[in-house]
Chains A and B, each alone.
Chain A
Amino acid sequence: MPRVVAVLRRFEATTAVWVFVAFVLFVLILNPLYHLVLESFQLTRGQGVEWTLRNYIKAFTEPLYRGPVLWTFIVSAAVGPLSLMVGAAVAWCVGRTDMPLPGFIRTSVLLSFVTPPFLGAIAWIFLAGPREGWLNIIYRGITGAAGHEYLFNIFTMPGVVFTMALFTFPQVFIVVLAALNNIPSDVEDAASIAGGNSLSTMVNITLPLVLPALMAGLLLAVLEAMTLLGIPAVLAIPARQHLMTTQIRAIMDEGIDAVGLAAAYSFPILVAAALLVWMQRAALGRRGYATVGGKGGHRRPQKLGVWRYPVFAMCMVPVTCAIVLPYFALIATSFMKNLGHGLTWSNMTLENYRSIFQSRAIASSMVNTLLLATMAATGATLLASVIAYISQRQLVHGHRHLGLLATLPLGIPGIVLGVGLFAAYTKAPFVLYGTLWILFLAYVTKFLPLAYQASNAALMSIHPELEESGRILGANRLTVFKDVTVPLFKVGLLASWLLVFMPSLRELSTSALIWTIDTKVISVVILNLYDEARLADIAALGVILMIVTLAVVVCVFRMMGRDFMRA
């Protein structure tokens, strides 16, 4: 008994908070994984369940399921190097040369990061669909080829690879640019003074220093290609080839009894993703996420001479493909009566927007999406900031595990999370399926690592002595957190909120497995509209989605800006 009393005497409110947080993290992340594993070994037999390996045997022996595994491997292996080449080259041009308008290229690449991949894929159908794609129409116009001939066909595996690379190269770009910016100029100067020419400096000094970032970028791109649902759902299925993600979705569509099979089939992606994230961490080493920015300072750029403009033009190619053309196609299409009739005044209409705003289903999906994104951003930010606080101030034993747990979802592909959530929350005692709560859990879990990294970075800039001086003056931990940490932390919290809000607006790969009629979100609506071939409506909805996203980004930046001014 005296021990209990001693324990109680040392009990602080903080302890309660961290126990609660640890519990929430466990439920959030480990419960779906637990059910995923459980279900993969179960088959429903009438009333009872049977423990079996049959799900695994079925998933990896039937030819129907083997093809997607092979193709997922091929596509990822192709997307990775392609993204790496494009992303690293553009990053180097932006960060290290006197190419004109580096800021423009940088902003454009980051903008393509905001674009939902499925929307980009649909935009590329408008551009490079074999029949009605504008590029093919132009091609036929120039060469006089027959109506069934085409130059590009986006509904092919190379088309899938191309589109995926467009939306994964920004990741490589960000990581590599950060690494380039982190190389102190004097390191390169030292090499030049020692007599190295610019080529040998680049090969011997710059390259080894950015090699970890290149590796990390490659792994990120492969991970993304492997786990994307939107692009293969839009482009690969018409090409009559499932990838693993679309195959999982197809299995799940068969009904609740197929969950075990889907779970078993998810395993290779889960393992591969975890491995990729682990390797990527190892590559970046202690630097962690390279997006934390560099030391700045002036760096002498590489003189390109007569090549300045050609290099700029080269950088514009991926930007054009990822931003200019798709957005042009999307916006133009959203105003078109008939997609085959081209851009003429007589073909213009506002009908697409009208039909969207009149559809009750679409309106409710917009409300759902905004509500969910707001809730998820708030929830994830709250949770992440508390975890970041506990782990950085080393408040409890095992604080490191708590931080690690918070970044664990990075290694859980969205589609796998979807299967796990479905498995965990369709049965008693926690039936969340059919409510918005399951989507809320999905978004919080999936984007917790983003919020955690933002919170962590922001917290790192708050000196512990600022809190300790509050503590010694008589404030307990929670009071200090409220009076000192939170006010100083506000900007970081906003960044974290934004980092969850934006991807929540367009989350697809998890939502696609756990939505119901009453809980549709915009991304799911777009995919359903696609199945109904209502492309003009998608274009209009896509434009609205992007406007909302950008408006939120601008608003939050304004708010943060004002706050900066006051501090």
Chain B
Amino acid sequence: MRVPDDGPGFHEGLKGSRLATVDLVGLTKVFGGKVRVVDRLDLHIEHGELVSILGPSGCGKTTTLRLVAGFLQPDEGEVRVDGKLISSSSFSVSPDKRNMSMIFQSYGLWPHKTVYQNVAYGLKFRDVTRAEADRKVRAMLEVVRMEGLADRYPAELSGGQQQRVALARALVVEPSILLLDEPLSNLDANLREEMRFEIRRLHDKFKITSIYVTHDQAEAMVTSDRTVVMNMGKVEQIGTPREIYERPRTRFVAEFVGKTNSFRGVLRGRDQLEVAPGIFLRTAGDNEFREGQCVLASVRPHNVELYSEGRGPSATTGHNVWSGRVTRAHYFGDSVDYLVELPNWPQPIRAILPPNVWFRTGDPVRLVIDPAKCVLLLDLPED
């Protein structure tokens, strides 16, 4: 068992907590007899890992979480914790016997109980003495920096404070698994950013196996060890945030996680993509695809460089280099968002650059893309 290294006097408190692996095997939930909200989902989560499930609303991510929590029962497939079956179509351990904790979108704080009572509630059902419970609650309130507000009612707290109480209440029972259902969606932008780091800090401290559901890619990036991108009940890709961002496997992932330029074309040779007759984009290549196959190339706007005419690397360096014209430029303070039109190209290219260079609409520019940043994807017909 890993023990947190910076917990003030909390080490003993964690002795009861056991880390757990989670396995979702062919997990399926059907609503209304035909909608496969979660469709044969397979996922293995390691001890102490924080895995985020990322996807648009209605993709089945919350349903997946509720299947793990036991609020829903799967129609097919299984949920296993440490290899032990806890949910299947014919069997389900009730949520109160799963030793899990959950952070809800609405926090689910009880308005008729004080902060202290909220946090202490779960300990009623665990084998701890009153004195011990009191000590644990106080220690946990200290960890989430809420020790001064123990006697307040939730209605008297700010959104961020409520969130911290919800975290304390979930963590104090030392769950083997922590589930988070869009925990930050009710906070304003600044607070959300702060709480992202807070959640990661608490995870690094307690190392509880966690599943974090969100539709916000930044949240998923900051908080998780691995990210599962879901769409229409199915897993699109599983990987570290970096893999997901830099090596998206599908168009959906490329477009949902971060901004992207997608080019449809036919693969010529190993890495040349013909995006229009006679126009080739040199890509990173991918052994999964064969010559002549219709594929997509994804290029992040951040990986598109712009130079004034006559400057920058030339085509001989192996880069993709084209001349074009700026058709739109938006200043964002920390960046500038451009749209550049290239002659004979089927679509304009979006580029996001730091604001130290500044082109105006109509300026001629040299557009450069490193082939290593052009990721090839399977070209699926659009839905």
Taking Cβ atoms with an 8 Å cutoff, the residues of A that contact B are 6, 10, 12, 463, 465-466, 468-476, 483-484, 487-488, 567
Contacts and interface: CB of A to CB of B under 8 A. Distances in A.
Contacts of B122: 473-474
B182 to A, nearest CB: 11
B125 interface: yes
Interface in B79-121: 90, 92, 94-102, 104-112, 121
A469 B169 contact: yes
A476 B122 CA distance: 11
Contacts of A465: 104-108
B106 A488 contact: no
Given A474-B126, A488-B112, A469 B104 contact: yes
Interface residues of B, number: 33
Leading 9 A-B pairs by shortest Cβ distance: A474-B125, A473-B122, A469-B108, A465-B108, A465-B104, A471-B95, A472-B102, A487-B112, A474-B96
Given A463-B106, A468-B71, A476 B111 contact: no
Nearest to B122: A473
Nearest to B104: A465
A468 B98 CA distance: 13
A223 B101 CA distance: 52
Nearest to A463: B106
A12 B95 CA distance: 13
Interface centre among A12, A466, A473 (most CB of B within 10 A): A473
A472 B69 contact: yes
Interface string B165-179: 010011001000001
B110 A474 contact: no
B118 to A, nearest CB: 9
Interface residue SS majority, chain A? helix
Contacts of A487: 112
Interface in B29-62: none
B110 A484 contact: yes
Nearest to B95: A471
Contacts of A472: 69, 95-96, 98, 100-102, 179
Contacts, number: 71
Interface centre among A466, A471, A474 (most CB of B within 10 A): A474
18 contacts: A6-B90, A465-B106, A466-B108, A468-B69, A468-B104, A469-B109, A471-B71, A471-B95, A472-B69, A472-B179, A473-B101, A474-B96, A474-B97, A474-B122, A476-B94, A476-B96, A487-B112, A567-B112
Interface centre among B108, B109, B125, B155 (most CB of A within 10 A): B108
Given A468-B71, A471-B71, A488-B111, 14 more contacts: A463-B106, A463-B108, A465-B104, A466-B109, A468-B108, A469-B166, A470-B110, A471-B95, A472-B100, A473-B122, A473-B173, A474-B122, A488-B110, A567-B112
A465 B71 CA distance: 11
A231 B235 CA distance: 69
Given A488-B111, A488-B112, A567-B112, A471 B96 contact: yes
Contact of A12 (B94, B109, B110, B173): B94
Interface centre among B98, B110, B124 (most CB of A within 10 A): B110
B71 A475 contact: no
B1 to A, nearest CB: 21
A476 to B, nearest CB: 5
A463 B71 CA distance: 15
A472 B211 CA distance: 14
B125 to A, nearest CB: 3
Contacts of A469: 102, 104, 108-110, 166, 169
Contacts of B104: 465, 468-469
A297 to B, nearest CB: 23
B111 A567 contact: yes
Nearest to B177: A472
Given A472-B69, A473-B122, A473-B125, A466 B110 contact: yes
A212 B260 CA distance: 51
Contacts of B97: 474
A524 B92 CA distance: 55
Contacts of B107: 465
B275 to A, nearest CB: 48
Contacts of A483: 121
A470 B117 CA distance: 12
Contacts of B71: 468, 471
Interface string B125-136: 110000000000
Contact of B95 (A10, A466, A468, A484): A468
B297 to A, nearest CB: 43
Contacts of A6: 90
Contacts of A484: 110
A326 to B, nearest CB: 43
Nearest to B97: A474
Contacts of B95: 468, 471-472
A473 B94 contact: no
A468 B102 contact: yes
A129 B195 CA distance: 76
A498 B106 CA distance: 32
A468 B110 CA distance: 11
B105 A473 contact: no
A471 B96 CA distance: 5
